[in-house]
Amino acid sequence: MNQYCLKWFFVATIQIVFGYNNNDHLKPSDEARIINGKIVDVSEVPSIVQLLRNNFGNPYCAGTLITENRVLTAAHCVYNLEKGTYVEQIYIRYGTSYSYKSPYPLIKVVEIWRHPDFMLDHNGDEINDIAILILDQIIIPSKDVGYAKLPEYNFNDKRTVTVYGWAGDDLYEHLSPTLRKTEMIARPTWQCVNINLTQCSSVRDCKIICATSKFSGANSGDSGGPVFLPNKTLVGIILAGFENNSFESPFWEENKFVRVFHRLDFINLKEKYDVKNLKTSKPQTRKH
């Protein structure tokens, strides 16, 4: 029996023993998707963007607009550690709730600034998984377009965080046609199965946020996307989506996020970057 089947056999057993209502917890709907939560308009999260490998096709990762021409994302979305190569011809799609269209034109990435210490540790986990993309055009804020607010201080665990993305509604659907969100609870790292504690000098100082939820969470394809507190402060970058072995966890679904607060020095200081020039070009102001 594979892990996925074993997991749902375990879920069904718990439901029988404790009397959970199957219709309330497992039936997919726009209000309670198994993985990615409910449909949301981009105006709720106007800083979210999609990453495309060319100037067409579907997104493969997400990111967050933090200034008029800078996007924060996960380093593994733009750099292959095994090959030591960058992804070429990256474009972003923004200002849209849809995964396949936008009223705004695609914008090309002209530089990639990744953390110079992005690497695999001895457990095979990616550390310092953060990068900034420089765009060849300036993006002007509007109702559906905006810049994320960065954290001024760290936050305590056990807070509710909201995850956004276009990954599929379940394990077998790669891409959702519309933007979705789901709420999760940030947990102390010792409660989480898939967290490497070598990245943590203490629970509060851990560079990784562990968040859990029953039957919902980020899926494959949400990597690089934003994680917000209720006050719309950007506190995380999605690293690992749905963990299909998290039946070992008492909270069922488990995700990992970069803790943005502990990466503000990298975000604010260009000399910390390993810079890849994809194109020599001055930014051009574009009016919407």
Q: Which pLDDT does position 247 carry in this prediction?
A: 41
For residues 154 and 254, membership in a common domain is answered with: yes
User: Block means of pLDDT (10 residues each) for the chain, length 288 residues?
Assistant: 42 36 30 56 97 87 95 93 87 95 94 87 76 94 96 85 79 74 81 62 67 68 90 90 45 76 85 58 39
For residues 174 and 204, membership in a common domain is answered with: yes
Closest CA to 152 of 65, 269, 273, 234: 234
Residue 155 lies in a domain: yes
For residues 26 and 113, membership in a common domain is answered with: no
Residue 285 lies in a domain: no
For residues 51 and 85, membership in a common domain is answered with: yes
Residue 282 lies in a domain: no
**Residue 113 backbone dihedrals phi, psi, to 5 degrees:** -110, 105
Residue 80 lies in a domain: yes
Residue 118 lies in a domain: yes
For residues 84 and 107, membership in a common domain is answered with: yes
Q: Which pLDDT does position 167 carry in this prediction?
A: 72
Q: Which pLDDT does position 218 carry in this prediction?
A: 64
3-class DSSP assignment, residue 276: strand
Q: Which pLDDT does position 203 carry in this prediction?
A: 52
Domain range for 17: 3-40+149-261
DSSP labels for 63-131? EEEEETTEEEE-GGGTEETTTTEEPPS-EEEES-SBSS--SS--EEEEEEEE-TT-EE-TTS-EES--E
For residues 64 and 189, membership in a common domain is answered with: no
**Lookup: tokens for 55:** 């100037």
For residues 107 and 236, membership in a common domain is answered with: no
Q: Which pLDDT does position 287 carry in this prediction?
A: 40
